[in-house]
Amino acid sequence: MTTPTRDALAAVATLLAPSAPQVTERALAAHDDPEAYLRDHADRLDERGIDEPFAGLPWIALVDALTDHGRLAEVDWKEAPDEISGRLLALRSAPAADELWKSLAEIDLPTYEFLETAGKQLLTTGTALAVLDIESDCYPLVLLPATQADDLVTLAAKAGFTAAVYGR
């Protein structure tokens, strides 16, 4: 069963985890059969306070799958910059830029301002910092080639969700 929304969701998953088809499979499982996905992942979803299907379940499934595959760092709205830097550096998609990561860890700004600053600095390496909005008080953060940032935002919107790029 293919629909434009489903296809866009699959495209986002593939864009963010091209070598991990399991990420796409999990997001599509939540899209195709939310009840079964809820049963199969009840413990994990319970941690988020989710106990029934809702329209955002495929996006949550994507966030969780990306996290499990080292492609997403979920940080609190008031996380310290050094902690955010450390989590981003641990992502499989993090650029090898030691001086950049060191300088980011030393910045002292509120979380949102730090993300904007980090986004600008990461763009100089050809990497975009983006958030997959799950309408929560956290920031699910991904790193991707800057050349694909607009695709992420467009595909997320086509899938019915929101992604935004920092530092532009």
What mean pLDDT value characterizes the chain?
Answer: 96
Distance from C-alpha of 116 to C-alpha of 98, rounded to nearest angstrom: 19
pLDDT at 128 over 80: yes
The 3-state DSSP class for residue 53 equals: coil
Distance from C-alpha of 52 to C-alpha of 141, rounded to nearest angstrom: 25
Cβ proximity of 91 and 117 under 8 Å: no
Distance from C-alpha of 41 to C-alpha of 97, rounded to nearest angstrom: 36
Cβ proximity of 7 and 58 under 8 Å: no
What is the reported pLDDT for 2?
84
Q: pLDDT tens-digit profile of 76-105?
A: 999 999 999 999 999 999 999 989 999 999
Distance from C-alpha of 151 to C-alpha of 46, rounded to nearest angstrom: 31
Cβ proximity of 32 and 57 under 8 Å: no
Taking CB atoms within 8 Å and a gap of at least 24, the contacts of 1-7 are: 1/32, 4/158, 5/31, 5/158, 5/159, 5/160, 6/31, 6/32
What range does the domain containing 129 cover? 4-165
Instruction: Domain count for the chain, please give it.
Output: 1
pLDDT at 15 over 90: yes
Residue 115: CB atoms within 10 A of its CB come to 24
CA-based max dimension of the chain: 49
pLDDT at 75 over 80: yes
pLDDT at 33 over 80: yes
* H/E run at residue 133: strand 127-133
